Amino acid sequence: MAAAALWRLRRAFTAAFSSAAAAAGPGRPEKLTVRRQAEGVRNIILNNPRRRNALSLSMLQSLREDLLHDVKSKDLRVIIISAEGPVFCSGHDLKELSSEDDVKHHSQVFEMCAEVMTLIQKLPVPVIAKVNGLATAAGCQLVASCDIAVASEKSQFATPGVNIGLFCSTPAVALGRSLPRKVALEMLFTGEPLSAQEALMHGLVSKVVPEDKLEEETMKISQKICESSKSVLALGKATFYRQMAQDLDTAYKMTTQVMVDNLTLRDGQEGIEAFIQKRKPVWSHSQDEKK
C-alpha cells in the first residue's frame, strides 16, 4: 500500500477513536470494545486492558455487536480485531466461572463464545487478528478462528486451562482445525505457550513481524483485500469453509458448481472482461448476476 494511503487510514482511525472516547464522556464506563471504520476497513479493538481483555459475557456480546454492525454494507470490506494493552486476550473471565454463578450463566458464557467464534467464519468479509502480546485460552481460540492472523514477534499463544482444572475444550475446536493434532494436543495437555515464530511454523498465524511493523503489515493485507470484489470474496470465503468439512469428491463437486455460479455474478464477468481488455476492473460488490 502506498504511504499516502496508509497515512489516510491511520488519520481516519485516529479521528474515529478520539470521537468514540469523547462519546463515552467523563464518568461513563469505557466501552468493552471500540469500533472504528475507514476506507472499507473496520477495526474492532478489545478495550479492557485492566482485565487483560478477558472474554466476559459482556465483552463477547459487545464483540458480536461490532462484528455484525451493518455487515452487508458495500463500504465494509475487511475486519481487523486488535486489542489495547500488553495482553491481546486472556480468555474467559474466571470470575464469571466461579461457583458463585449458576450453571445457566456458565452455559450462557460458553454458548455466546461459540456463537462469536463461528460467526467470524460466517461473515461475508475476511477477518484478521492483529496480535500484539499474549493470547491464551479463549483468546487463543479467537486468533485461531480468524481467517488471517498477523502477530508481532513478542506475541505468545497458550491454552493453559489444564493448569487450573478447566481443560480448554472449546478452544480445542479452533486449535485442532488450525494446528497439527500433536502440536495442538501438546498445547492443551501442558499449557505451555508457543512463541510467535512457533505459531507461524505450525500455521496458527499467517505472518510474524516486528512490533513496529505490525500495523503497517496488517493494513497492507487489508488494503489488498479491499481491491477485490466483496461479493466474490464472500462467495469464496463461504465455499472454503464448506469444502473443508467435506470429503475430496464431494468438495470438488461442490466447488465446481461454485466456480460456475461465480461466473454468473456481475463482478465475475467484470473481472474477466477487464483482464481481456487490459484495464482495471470496476467492481459493483453486488450479488446480482450478469444480465
Q: In this model, does residue 19 exceed pLDDT 50?
A: no
Helix (H, G, I), strand (E, B) or coil at 146: coil
130 and 196 both lie in a single domain:
yes
Q: What CATH number has the domain bearing residue 257?
A: 1.10.12.10
Q: What CATH number has the domain bearing residue 119?
A: 3.90.226.10
Q: In this model, does residue 25 exceed pLDDT 70?
A: no
Name the residue with higher pLDDT: 105 or 90: 90
Once rounded to an integer, what is the mean pLDDT over residues 48-68? 97
Residue found under cell 477495526: 43
Q: Is 2 within a domain?
A: no
Look at the chain and report how many structural domains it folds into.
2
One-letter identity of residue 45 = I
- C-alpha cell recorded at residue 178: 488450525
Least confident of 10-14, 63-67, 68-72, 155-159: 10-14
187 and 253 both lie in a single domain:
no
220 and 177 both lie in a single domain:
yes
CA distance 223 to 148: 14
In the prediction, which pLDDT does 102 show?
Answer: 83
- C-alpha cell recorded at residue 200: 507461524
In the prediction, which pLDDT does 27 show?
Answer: 46
CA distance 77 to 126: 8
Q: Is 221 within a domain?
A: yes
pLDDT tier at 29, thresholds 50, 70, 90: low
Once rounded to an integer, what is the mean pLDDT over residues 152-179? 97
Q: In this model, does residue 33 exceed pLDDT 80?
A: yes
**pLDDT tens column, 191-230:** 999 999 999 999 999 999 999 999 999 999 999 999 999 9
164 and 72 both lie in a single domain:
yes
102 and 200 both lie in a single domain:
yes
Helix (H, G, I), strand (E, B) or coil at 77: coil
204 and 183 both lie in a single domain:
yes
pTM of the entire structure? 0.88
pLDDT tier at 291, thresholds 50, 70, 90: low
DSSP E strands in 61-177: the ranges are: 78-83, 87-89, 127-131, 134-136, 148-152, 156-158
Q: Mean of the per-residue pLDDT values for the chain?
A: 91
CA distance 184 to 35: 32
pLDDT tier at 289, thresholds 50, 70, 90: confident
Least confident of 5-14, 46-55, 78-87, 92-101: 5-14
CA distance 122 to 119: 5
Q: Is 13 within a domain?
A: no
Percent of the chain at pLDDT above 70?
89
In the prediction, which pLDDT does 287 show?
Answer: 84
Last residue of a domain, one of 212, 227, 242: 227
Q: Is 15 within a domain?
A: no
Give ∠ CA 66-67-69 in degrees, rounded to 5. 65
Distances (CA, A) of 140 to 133, 135, 151, 290: 11, 5, 12, 42
Q: In this model, does residue 257 exceed pLDDT 60?
A: yes
- C-alpha cell recorded at residue 56: 466476559
Q: What residues contact 27, with CB distance under 8 A and at least 6 apart?
A: none
Backbone conformation region of residue 122, classed left if phi is above 0, alpha if psi is from -120 to 50, else beta: alpha
Q: In this model, does residue 59 exceed pLDDT 50?
A: yes
Q: Is 94 within a domain?
A: yes
Question: Which residues form the domain of 94?
Answer: 31-227
